Every structure is written in C-alpha cells, then in structure tokens.
C-alpha cells in the first residue's frame, strides 16, 4: 500500500471567496517527508490553499486526508492536534506578548513531541536572546523565525510555511533557510516562496499555481526555467504562439 506513505492528499478540493473560485477542483498528494515549494503570482491561490489545508478556510468541495485520515471536517485547532501546523502569511504573532509566551501558547496547546521551546531555540539560535522581548517589537527576520518556531513547537508532521521570505532582508532569508534545511527528512514541508531560485534550490518538488489551478508539478532539477516561467504566468502551450 502506498497509502501509508502519503502525508497529505487533496481530492477535488475547491475553495471560494464568495463568488470567486480561488481554488479550482484540485488533486494533490504529498509524500511523507517530502519538501515542496509552492510558487505562483499574487492571487494564484497559494495562501488560500495553505489556509484550506490548515483549516482556516472552508472547503467548498472535496476532501483532505492526512496520513489516510479524513480531516476535512476538522477545525483548525483539531488539525493542529492531528499534525498540521501553518506559519501564516504576515507571521501573526501575538504582538503584546513576549516571544516566550508566544512559544508557550503553541507548546501548551499543540502535540507532545521532541520539539520544545528549548529545541526550537537550538534550531533558531537567534530567538534565544529575544525570549523576553515583546513579539510586536521584533524585526521582520526575527518575527519570521519566531513564527516558524511557534509552528514547530506544536510538533507537526506536516509543516506549512506561507511567504517565508516576504519582507525579509537577504541575510535574514539565508538564516531562515539554513534552519529549515536542518528539518529536511524530519517532517513534510510545504513552503510558499516568491524567490524562484531559492525555491528550486531548497525543495525536492516544485508546484506552480496560477489562477487557482496547478499549472506545473515536478522536480526542480529537471524542470527548465522556461517551463516554470510559462506556468507562473499561466501561459499554455496552445497560446504560446500568440504571446511570442
């Protein structure tokens, strides 16, 4: 059975914002410990898809299975207990609380496991001196590190990271990706990334979305830049001639 190895399985998943069909019926399976980069232009539906998997956005149709278990009907906090963690777009830290309190909240309400505030601080050493600072006063890179650490201490089996490098300095992005590289093989990761080179270097699998549809899905080592660019802008082979 291959079923046991599949971490996430979306079948016929559909997401709406009112009348807008943000995610068109979509099939996607992600294997255990696979590292997937999700790319696409603004409005492609990346964030909506992440929020749907995390349980913050309702499924208009279709189903989500986590390690073979149907979690479609679960709310966001139940999916955390089932093993899905999302570090959301905009980090969404609790700004009036300290970094330590932010991490404690996740540790207290998440799953038990190897990830604790101490091990998260080992993985993201830049957090340790910040523990007693209010989260609202941190720089972009620090906030992102805390947000990822907060997602880690719930001990997920599937880690979703939305807009990892958005608004960060190149140095901060390097730091975050170094820490993330250490997680490879320990959990399934889906990373939304705007920087194509970084996405291709980091992930073992590249998925490109455009207008709510999966345009491209493959190994970044095999895919060509042109294929990716075409998928990014939603340019199909049939219309390629008119765009040339």
Partner 1 sequence: MLEALIQGILLGGYYAVLAAGLSLMFGVVRFINLAHGDMAVLGAMIALWLVQDVGLGVGLAIALTLPAMAALGWLMQRMIFERALRGGFLIPILTTIGLGAALQNGMFGLFGSETKSLGAHIGGLSWASWELPGSIFLGQLPVYMFLTAIVVLGTLHVVLTRTPFGRAVRATATDADAAALCGIDARRVHRGAAAIAVALAGLAGIFLALRAQVTPFAGPMLLIFAFEAVVIGGIGSLRGTLIGGIALGVAQALGGLISPQFSILAGHVVFLAVLAWRMSQSAAAERGGWRSAWAALTLKRQITRGKS
Task: Specify which residues 208 forms β-bridges with.
Answer: 39, 216
Residue with smaller CB distance to partner 1, 80 or 228 = 80
Options 5, 17, 69, 92; binder of partner 1; rule CB under 8 A:
92
Site for partner 1 in 123-182 (CB under 8 A): 150-151, 154
b/e map 228-240, b = 16+ CB within 10 Å: bebbbebbeeeee
b/e map 132-165, b = 16+ CB within 10 Å: eebbeebeebbbbbbbbbbbbbbbbbbbbbbbbb
φ/ψ of 95, rounded to 5, equals -65, -30
Residue with smaller CB distance to partner 1, 147 or 210 = 147
Write the CB contacts of 226 (distance below 8 Å, at least 6 apart in sequence). Answer: none
E strand residue ranges, 69-193: 69-70, 84-87, 158-161, 188-192
> Which one of 100-108, 171-179, 185-193, 228-236 is the stretch in contact with partner 1 (CB under 8 A)?
100-108
Q: Does residue 58 touch partner 1 according to CB under 8 A?
A: no
Q: Does residue 207 touch partner 1 according to CB under 8 A?
A: no
Q: Does residue 56 touch partner 1 according to CB under 8 A?
A: yes
Residue with smaller CB distance to partner 1, 31 or 104 = 104
> Which one of 11-19, 31-39, 69-77, 210-218 is the stretch in contact with partner 1 (CB under 8 A)?
69-77
φ/ψ of 208, rounded to 5, equals -115, 130
The size of the interface with partner 1 (CB under 8 A), counted in residues, is 28
- In the complex, least distance from residue 154 CB atom to partner 1, rounded to whole angstroms: 6
* Cα-to-chain-centroid distance, residue 133: 26
Look up tokens 């992930």; give the residue: 203
Options 20, 58, 109, 225; binder of partner 1; rule CB under 8 A:
109
φ/ψ of 131, rounded to 5, equals -50, -35
Residue with smaller CB distance to partner 1, 26 or 106 = 106
Options 36, 85, 99, 148; binder of partner 1; rule CB under 8 A:
85
Instruction: Catalog residues that contact partner 1 under the rule CB under 8 A.
Output: 54-56, 75-77, 80-81, 85-86, 88, 92-97, 101, 104-106, 108-111, 150-151, 154
């Amino acid at each position: 059975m291959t079923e046991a190895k599949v971490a996430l399985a979306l079948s016929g998943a559909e997401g709406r914002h009112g009348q807008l069909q943000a995610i068109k019926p979509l099939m996607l399976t992600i294997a255990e410990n696979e590292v997937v980069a999700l790319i696409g232009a603004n409005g492609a539906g990346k964030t909506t898809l992440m929020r749907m998997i995390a349980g913050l956005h309702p499924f208009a149709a279709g189903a989500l299975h986590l390690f073979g278990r149907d979690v479609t009907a679960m709310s966001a906090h139940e999916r955390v207990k089932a093993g899905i963690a999302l570090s959301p777009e905009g980090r969404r830290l609790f700004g009036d609380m300290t970094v330590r309190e932010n991490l404690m909240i996740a540790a207290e309400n998440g799953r038990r496991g190897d990830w604790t505030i101490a091990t998260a601080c080992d993985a993201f050493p830049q957090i340790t001196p910040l523990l007693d600072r209010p989260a609202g006063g941190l720089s972009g890179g620090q906030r992102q590190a805390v947000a990822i650490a907060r997602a880690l201490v719930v001990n997920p089996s599937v880690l979703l990271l939305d807009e990892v490098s958005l608004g960060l300095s190149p140095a901060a992005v390097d730091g975050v990706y170094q820490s993330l590289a250490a997680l490879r093989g320990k959990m399934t990761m889906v990373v939304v990334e705007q920087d194509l080179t970084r996405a291709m270097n980091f992930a073992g699998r590249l998925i490109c979305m455009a207008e709510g549809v999966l345009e491209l899905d493959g190994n970044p080592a095999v895919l060509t830049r042109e294929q990716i660019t075409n998928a990014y802008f939603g340019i199909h082979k049939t219309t390629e001639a008119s765009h040339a």
